[in-house]
Amino acid sequence: MRLLIVGFGFLGKSLVKAIRNKIDLLKSVDHNFKIIGVADSKGYLYSSKGLIIEELSALNRLSEHKEYKTSETAAELISKDLCDIIVEVTPTNIINGEPGLTHITQALKNGIHVVTANKGPLVLAFKQLTSLAEKNGCDLLYEGTVAGAIPVFSLVRECLQGDKIVKLSGILNGTVNYILSRMHFEEISFEIALKEAQERGIAEKDPSYDIDGIDAACKVVILANAIMGRNAKLQDVERIGIRGITQEAISLAKKANYAIKLIGTVDKKLEVSPKLVPINHPLCVHGTLNAIHIQTDLAKEITLVGHGAGKETVSAILNDLITILKKRSPEDKNP
């Protein structure tokens, strides 16, 4: 199968390196597997025979390659029916979902399978995109959109098929969890913990997307729609961030054997807010770790813990890619 990667930022580059390291595995699933194109915001590389993975993985920017072209956009490439699968890893935009929403919509309309780690399109248009995928017989997989390497969607889809999911709750943002963990263990203020997180590259220069709970709320929407069959929007999530958390509050919680954690909840209502979590509860994880607690009618309680951002997200993208290759390759599909 022919892969087009759309987006060549941190995740796109990490994915190319992972594919280089796992190419034997991918070829064992589909011996015709090849990357035929990679696009960024200004141009692309394309070869119908397949791009040379070693050359790709050595690039810092696509434009460094001698074959780099700027004559067409990623959306135009997708519309030309050159590939069987796209991996869409452009930056998340929760205002209008672009350019990812156009890329994914175009691909599904053309019968192209989609793997994405881009939250924006799924937050804004989950039902439309999943309906479009179903109508055109395409796979739309998005494990990397929530909690990085934690396989929550795969687990529910494959291993809990007979269960009714009653409630989901979790630590869904590693940046916030790092800040709260530092406040808990080092007894420092929110401002100092945030500054430290920024200096270490864990928090952005403008941290509001994380610390105001917007990122976690996006993930709550995707979980609600994908696992609970809701038709939720971002404005349906009651959201309180962590700016108001004082060292005094952290200390009082600690004395009572609790930790304050920013918890995203999918229940009768959708919520992101600081909660008191018992220190012996499986959700009480620290540092940049994420955790998701699943409550079901039969299996009762399952907790998944893992890394929720960065290179670990590539694990989820690669798994989605292999899932499609196994399902759709090789003999009866396009080489």
pLDDT along the chain (335 residues), means of 10: 98 97 97 97 97 97 96 94 96 97 98 98 98 98 96 97 98 98 98 97 94 98 98 98 97 98 98 99 97 98 92 95 90 46
CA pair distance 203, 197, nearest whole angstrom: 5
Tokens 């992972």 belong to which residue?
18
Instruction: Give pLDDT, residue 330.
Output: 59
**Domain 2-149+312-328 maps to which CATH number in 1.10.10.10, 3.40.50.720, 3.30.210.10, 1.20.120.530?**
3.40.50.720
pLDDT of residue 15: 98
Could you tell me the two tokens for 109? 């309309």
Q: How far apart are CA 73 and CA 71, in angstroms?
A: 7
> Are the C-beta atoms of 138 and 296 separated by less than 8 Å?
no
Q: What DSSP letter does each residue of 118-181 carry, written as one string?
A: -HHHHHHHHHHHHHHHHHTT--EE-GGGSSTT--HHHHHHHH-TTPPEEEEEEE--HHHHHHHH
Q: Which CATH class is domain 162-306?
A: alpha beta
pLDDT at 138: 97
- Sequence-distant (6+) residues with CB within 8 A of 235 are none
Taking Cα atoms as reference points, which of 300, 297, 302, 228 lies closest to residue 268? 228
pLDDT at 331: 52
- Which region holds residue 310: left if phi is over 0, alpha if psi is between -120 and 50, else beta? left
Phi, psi for 207 (deg, rounded to 5): -85, 5
Is 88 in contact with 118 (CB distance < 8 Å)?
yes
pLDDT at 310: 80
Domain boundaries, the chain: 2-149+312-328, 162-306
DSSP character string of 42-76: S-EEE-TT---HHHHHT-SSGGGSTT-B-SS-HHH
DSSP type of residue 6: E
User: For 211, phi and psi rounded to 5 degrees?
Assistant: -75, -20
Residue among 74, 82, 76 at smallest CA distance from 41: 74
Distance CA 113, CA 107 (A): 7
| CB crowding 87-126: b at 16 or more within 10 Å, else e | bbbbebbbeebebbbbbbbbbbebebbbbbbbbbbbbbbb
- Among 234, 219, 143, residue whose Cα is nearest residue 174: 219
Pull the structure tokens for residue 6: 């759309």
* pLDDT of 309: 78
Task: Say if residues 95 and 214 touch (Cβ distance below 8 Å).
Answer: no
Beta-carbon contacts of residue 140 (< 8 Å; ≥ 6 apart): 104, 108, 113, 114, 116, 129, 130, 133
> Residue 82 CB: number of other CB atoms within 10 A?
15
- Give the catalytic positions in this structure: 219
Alpha-carbon gap, residue 213 to 264, rounded angstroms: 9
The pLDDT value recorded for residue 274 is 99
| Residue-level pLDDT at 166 | 98
What pLDDT is attached to residue 332?
A: 44
